[in-house]
Amino acid sequence: MLQSDLAVQLGVIGAYLVLALAVGLVAYRVTSRAAEDYYLASRSIGTVVLLFTTFATLLSAFTFFAGPDIAYRFGPEWILVMGVMDGILFAVLWYLIGYKQWLVGRKQGYVTLGEMLGDRFGSTTLRALVAGISVFWLFPYVMLQQIGAGEAITGLTNGAVPYWAGAALITVFMIGYVAAAGLRGVAWTDTIQGLFMLGIVWIAVAWVLSAVGGLGPINEGLQAGETTAGFLSLGSGFYTPQYIISTAVTIAFGVTMFPQINQRFFVAKDARVLKRSFALWPVLVVLLFVPAFLLGTWAAGLGVVVPEGQNVVPVLLNEYTPVWFAALVIAGAMAAMMSSSDSMLLSGASYITRDLYRPLVNPDASERTEGLLARVVVAGFALLAFVGSLFRPGTLLEVGDTAFGGFAQLALPVMLALYWPRTNRQGMFAGILGSQVFYLAHVFVPAQTLTVAGSTLTVFGTTYFTWDFALYGMLLSLVLTFGVSLLTTTAPDEQSAVYSVRAD
């Protein structure tokens, strides 16, 4: 690679990162040292900012790199999983869980999911358990962004910048502006980054289409290729109905329990903001996912060869667009990764300080002390995730899918708690612990083949009767929470009335 090209690429990405840091520093000047303002921007977020901060927070390396990579290898039906099904499913869950959470949070002043559940069920242990599980599954998803950043810059520069340097770059900038800005700065940068991502990916689609002479050469390449002949028709050995439904359900339910998304349910300034946001959500999602996944599919039709350890989008853009534009699109992808990681770091810090440190270590901690500790936690969490990312524990799809499934195990017990007053403490512990043990066993224990009465049975496998094991874990969480609550008595210090709120 020419040194001039490398300088342009790094200059474009560096300029974008500096802009994001500058926005964070401006936000720092109007953010108080109080913990609630740092975590929730004093519950003052309007429609555009709430919509785009949720949008940008979700659109991570999983979207910008894992999605196109899947479309490149298996075809464009990934849009059914992420664009259509999850766009709609998450919007429904935003209403069912998010709106009720907003009503309860506004009335009681909650900042975290653990705080909301711990107060309702009179249990510091439950509060700490939910926080601990959330932080545990958050770690690989933060790491996912750093893996994506490292692979993106390596692919863009054709290996001139090593993987670790790209991961380190995004880590340093994230720490800088998240520690300074809090949610207000994160939301502002998310809005800028969301608009930037949306615009630049559509320009990339138009540019590639123009460079290759339209859809004709792409479709001819897809039809002629040995592995791509079925890309222009629905259905394949990979995109089975069971796979599409299982993946869409676990992602949508998992997203609602992501700390960075779940806390967005508390921040709207009024009910109209929240309702407008989840109504517009499916439109916004499809507007981004369609072009991103088209790029991956087109690369397969154009015969683009993706080196091991790299992602298809940077390689495609390097081949068909100018150096500066490819760098600009990767800056957009970096924006996606940073806007996910910044929110994750902030939410993870709030769970650690409010649900673990304050109740278990220092109940009398001041708001200022908690706010300062949160900034230290942000830096420590990001650095630990960076170290983990250097070991590359799996592909972007594998790491992301595992985290989604882990969070999804929390969703149904939380829904029961919000809507069924008979839910009690024992039921919550049974549902949450039982499903997490089941899920963790399937993630970390190798599959075992047993022979029972002459028949072969596989346990700890990825599927049962062709359906993903994560769905069985969710079903187990529902059965245990409901059944144990029904069969046991409610403790005197539980307060079902705190969730009795009137809809606006």
CATH number at residue 446: 1.20.1730.10
The size of the chain, in residues, is 504
| 42-46 own/partner pairs: CB under 8 Å, 24+ apart | 43/105, 43/106, 43/266, 43/267, 43/268, 43/269, 44/267, 44/269, 45/187, 45/267, 45/268, 45/269, 45/273, 46/269, 46/273
pLDDT at 212: 94
| DSSP H or E segment with residue 33 | none
**Alpha-helical regions (H) of 302-424:** 312-320, 323-350, 358-360, 367-389, 396-419
Q: What is the pLDDT of residue 216?
A: 92
Confidence at residue 23, expressed as pLDDT on a 0 to 100 scale: 67
CB within 8 Å of 7: residues ≥ 6 apart? none
Residue 188 resides in a domain: yes
Does residue 36 lie in a domain region?
no
Backbone region of residue 406 per phi and psi (left: phi > 0; alpha: psi in -120 to 50; beta: other values): alpha
Q: Is residue 504 part of a domain?
A: no
DSSP secondary structure code for residue 305 in this structure: P
Return d(Cα 342, Cα 351) in angstroms, integer: 14
Of 434, 440, 397, the residue nearest 412 (C-alpha) = 434
3-state secondary structure of 328: helix
The answer to whether the beta carbons of residues 416 and 482 sit under 8 Å apart is yes
Query: What is the C-alpha to C-alpha distance for residues 40 and 493, in angstroms, rounded to an integer?
Result: 28
CA 77, CA 243: separation in Å to the nearest integer? Answer: 11
Is the Cβ–Cβ distance between 336 and 60 less than 8 Å? yes
In a domain, 33, yes or no: no
Name residue, tokens 């474009």. Answer: 12
Q: Is residue 53 part of a domain?
A: yes
Distance, first Cα to last Cα, the chain: 59
Q: What is the pLDDT along the chain (504 residues), one digit of tens a residue?
A: 456 777 887 888 778 777 766 766 665 555 554 555 555 555 557 777 777 777 767 766 667 778 899 999 998 888 888 877 788 898 899 889 999 999 998 888 888 999 999 999 999 999 999 999 999 999 988 888 888 888 878 877 878 888 898 888 878 877 776 666 555 666 666 777 777 778 888 999 999 999 999 999 998 998 887 778 778 777 677 888 899 999 999 999 998 999 888 888 887 788 888 888 878 888 888 888 889 899 999 999 999 998 887 889 888 998 999 988 888 877 777 766 776 777 788 788 889 988 999 889 988 887 778 777 877 888 888 899 899 988 877 777 788 889 899 999 999 999 999 999 999 999 999 999 999 999 999 999 888 887 766 677 788 888 888 899 999 999 999 999 999 999 999 999 999 888 988 776
Number of domains in the chain: 1
The C-alpha atoms of residue 277 and residue 192 are separated, in whole angstroms, by 17
Question: What sign does the CA torsion over 461, 467, 473, 475 have?
Answer: negative
The structure's pTM equals 0.86
Cα–Cα distance for residue pair 127/425, rounded to 1 Å: 11
- Residue 35, domain member (yes or no): no
**Domain assignment present for 39:** no
- CA torsion sign for 135, 136, 141, 143 is positive
- What local confidence, expressed as pLDDT, does residue 193 receive? 72
- Please answer whether residues 189 and 195 qualify as being in contact, where contact means their C-beta atoms are separated by less than 8 angstroms: no
40 located within any domain: no
Q: Which domain holds residue 271?
A: 3-28+47-499
445, two tokens: 């224990």
Strand, helix or coil for residue 484: helix
**Residue that the structure tokens 């329990």 belong to:** 257
